[in-house]
């Protein structure tokens, strides 16, 4: 990790969510395979997670595999599953030691049974950690999440007469996390790609052209600086001093 000193900022978002995009282009520009890009995209993750905790972020959500990513070539999908498993094996102890509580959002069905087991064990091991909650969005889709919520509500016979935002959110994968304050997307794409579509209704968005494998502590700090310049109004009018 770089030894640079980072300015302390007045506002730190409680929950930061990241669309880790651009692994493929990072690799192709270097004459490497897309999978080499995905591997590289796990190398910087430790730095970003540790920096998040250091900056005082309490929830970090990372988009690792979308419900639409099943439409990629079979070899790439298998490679991504392998990389995710290797990453868990490699990082779990370190995450646990650093007080990171691991959670999964999305669907575990459809994923290799051994990987499912590994995910369950990791969640169990870290469930009492308090420094940082790390939500891993793997096989996650925002539309799928909302549909699942609706199905549960119907199946549970909930009285929809009184259904409000707060009650609905209890059925989302993120029921235990506050809404994201800041969503970061790397690689210069300006879209949400089915990520946290309900939860990010009032999030601040930050886009950077940096490809994910090159995104680091400094990049995260720049996103936080931009966040500090935002004025979150939630539909109200700006408060003017003295008025
Ligand atoms: C993001 O990188 C990782 C996943 C979607 C799994 P991409 O693989 O989308 O990289 P680009 O967008 O093709 O460069
Ligand atoms: C979003 O990136 C999903 C993840 C980062 C896991 P994609 O690369 O799949 O999104 P699109 O296809 O460019 O919208
Ligand atoms: Mg992409």
Mind listing the pLDDT tens digit for each residue in 78-111? 999 999 999 999 999 999 999 999 999 999 998 9
- Using a pLDDT cut of 90, give the percent of the chain over it: 95
The answer to whether the CB of 51 falls within 8 A of the CB of 8 is: no
Average of per-residue pLDDT across 178-187 = 98
Is residue 240 domain-resident?
A: no
What lies within 8 Å, CB to CB, of 174 at 6+ separation is 61, 105, 135, 145, 196, 199
* Whole-number pLDDT of residue 11: 98
Angle at 127 between CA 126 and CA 133, to 5 degrees: 80
The answer to whether the CB of 12 falls within 8 A of the CB of 224 is: yes
When divided into structural domains, the chain yields a total of: 1
Which residue range is the domain that position 78 belongs to? 15-142+178-228
Q: Ligand 2 pocket: which residues have CB below 6 Å?
A: 19-21, 63-66, 69, 189, 191, 193
**Domain with 47 in it: what CATH number?**
3.40.1180.10
Average of per-residue pLDDT across 185-208 = 98
Is residue 190 domain-resident?
A: yes
Is residue 136 domain-resident?
A: yes
Task: Summarize pLDDT for 35-82 with one digit per residue, the tens.
Answer: 999 999 999 999 999 999 999 999 999 999 999 999 999 999 999 999
Note the ligand closest to the C-alpha atom of 41: 1
Mutate to test the pocket of ligand 2, among 28, 34, 66, 83 (most ligand atoms within 8 A of CB): 66
pLDDT at 14 over 90: yes
Distance 171 CA to ligand 2 centre (A): 24
Whether 69 is catalytic: yes
Predicted confidence band of residue 147 (pLDDT cuts 50, 70, 90): very high
* Whole-number pLDDT of residue 240: 77
* Whole-number pLDDT of residue 210: 99
pTM (two decimals)? 0.97
Is residue 58 domain-resident?
A: yes
Mutate to test the pocket of ligand 2, among 87, 193, 200 (most ligand atoms within 8 A of CB): 193
Whether 89 is catalytic: no
Is residue 101 domain-resident?
A: yes
Mean pLDDT of the chain, nearest integer: 97
Is residue 48 domain-resident?
A: yes
Distance 83 CA to ligand 3 centre (A): 16
Determine which one of 44, 69, 98, 129 is catalytic: 69
């Amino acid at each position: 990790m770089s030894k640079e000193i980072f300015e302390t900022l007045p506002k730190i978002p409680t929950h930061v969510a990241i669309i880790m995009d651009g692994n493929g282009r990072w690799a192709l520009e270097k004459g490497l395979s897309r999978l080499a890009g995905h591997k590289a995209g796990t190398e910087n993750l430790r730095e970003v997670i540790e920096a998040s905790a250091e900056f005082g972020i309490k929830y970090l959500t990372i988009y690792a595999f979308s419900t639409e990513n099943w439409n990629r070539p079979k070899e790439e999908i298998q490679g991504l599953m392998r990389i995710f498993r290797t990453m868990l094996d490699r990082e779990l102890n370190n995450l646990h030691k650093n007080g990171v509580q691991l959670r999964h959002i999305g669907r575990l069905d459809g994923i290799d049974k051994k990987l499912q087991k590994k995910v369950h064990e990791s969640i169990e091991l870290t469930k009492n950690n308090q420094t940082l909650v790390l939500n891993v969005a793997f096989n996650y889709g925002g539309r799928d999440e909302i549909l699942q919520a609706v199905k549960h509500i119907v199946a549970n016979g909930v009285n929809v007469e009184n259904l409000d935002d707060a009650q609905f959110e209890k059925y989302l994968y993120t029921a235990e996390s506050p809404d994201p304050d800041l969503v970061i997307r790397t690689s210069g794409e300006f879209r949400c790609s089915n990520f946290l579509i309900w939860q990010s209704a009032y999030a601040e968005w930050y886009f950077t052209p940096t490809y994910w494998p090159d995104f680091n502590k400094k990049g995260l700090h720049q996103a936080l600086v931009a966040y500090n310049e935002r004025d979150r109004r939630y539909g109200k009018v700006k408060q003017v001093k003295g008025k």
